[in-house]
Structure 1
């Protein structure tokens, strides 16, 4: 991850899964409410599409992307035929744990005889290992580098807590949305760290690594990321609510029209039969 692309890749993955989780959780919640059933959260959600509703696309995609991440980190860690970049080994390990979580989710999908909530336990393990690696990844770094990764570490801790809370309170819509929120902060902050430490623009002015003013600005940026991400998820949830409600209203209207037409046809048939009977008499 010691490059702009190395921060953009995990950041994009976290953003992708945050939106997938928030959208699928909200749609599942509305579908459960419409059918009179109780909402239940899962470590991964199925795509709310008729053709893909039983395909564990989220787990498959997670396994695929983590495999790509491991391959990139291992490939870039070699120099002259030897693996010399231990930081890449740490990053590959992080991807491997999330890949392992994807494997357990697939096993749960195929109803393997696993202990209850195994997929949540492996997800919490993945975030714990991510936090552990970042905690001891900053030796000898500048104050700026330490600060941006320490702020990221706080979000990782929040992800661990949100997973444990969701495992306990699986019937609350707030549980998966909280996890999606902290995933989104991780994703957008990864991008921000990439621009702070490895800005790809040729005209970019480097940040001053030990300047108090710029360190303060970093904390302000993090606070604004947290607020902006919350607003994004809130708008997403409201938009899904409006769309689902309109779709339900259209479906109810269509059913009502069909019943009305069917009732009208039956009444017309009854009138015709009555007329024929009167004529025979």
Structure 2
């Protein structure tokens, strides 16, 4: 076993077997956008695949395999790895495009459909029902293990596991904070408007603000000052908790931005904030070895 395979194997953590014995609800990615996000904005960005290897792949996990979207530069590599974590709406066209944007910057980017065991987010027409009936039923332990499997797979697909990063949006932003406290191999994370405080549940007991002492890698938080779902008081509480342990993690807040300001397919999109956030994201990864 070579060094890359050995390090990749170290990322595979045990998962509670009761989480993996259910039938997988999704075996391929949904096309287009989630029904609950329609209509799609005319500002939606589409990144071409020229010079890239891009498309759907399958990630082996406990109990089966998960569909995912991978984009990387054409060529041998190895390439630094960025795991892109979905919003509550699943791995749809915007998340796939974010992978292509990273690939254009020289990364192997992969977005795994982390709801695949529980259901298809794209089929829901009501956001409230989507959260109650699907998102809230996805265990934190399952997500962490599936991301470990994704990282290990990427290392065998031309990725450099010693340069591993993660970024996520909304639900994926919270997941980014959690994964930074989970994987000691992680180099850096970028969390876009993910919750940092919440009431723990049986399936989702992990709360970012309670995990600051366990952080293995620095996280850049990109947040909107007018986010209706994430009060600035929560952000300030997280900032204080990080400062108390001398963490290198930090925040950048866009005072007039709402939630989902990077989502160019939605009315919440703020082009200037999204462009600046993307620049900060890339710089954060580069200065932290991703």
Could you say whether these structures have the same fold, taking a TM-score greater than 0.5 normalized by the shorter chain as the test?
no
Q: How high is the TM-score relative to the length of structure 1?
A: 0.25
Larger radius of gyration: 1
Please identify which structure carries the higher helix content.
Answer: 1
Structure number with higher relative contact order (C-alpha < 8 Å, ≥ 6 residues apart): 1
Alignment TM-score, normalising by the size of structure 2: 0.24
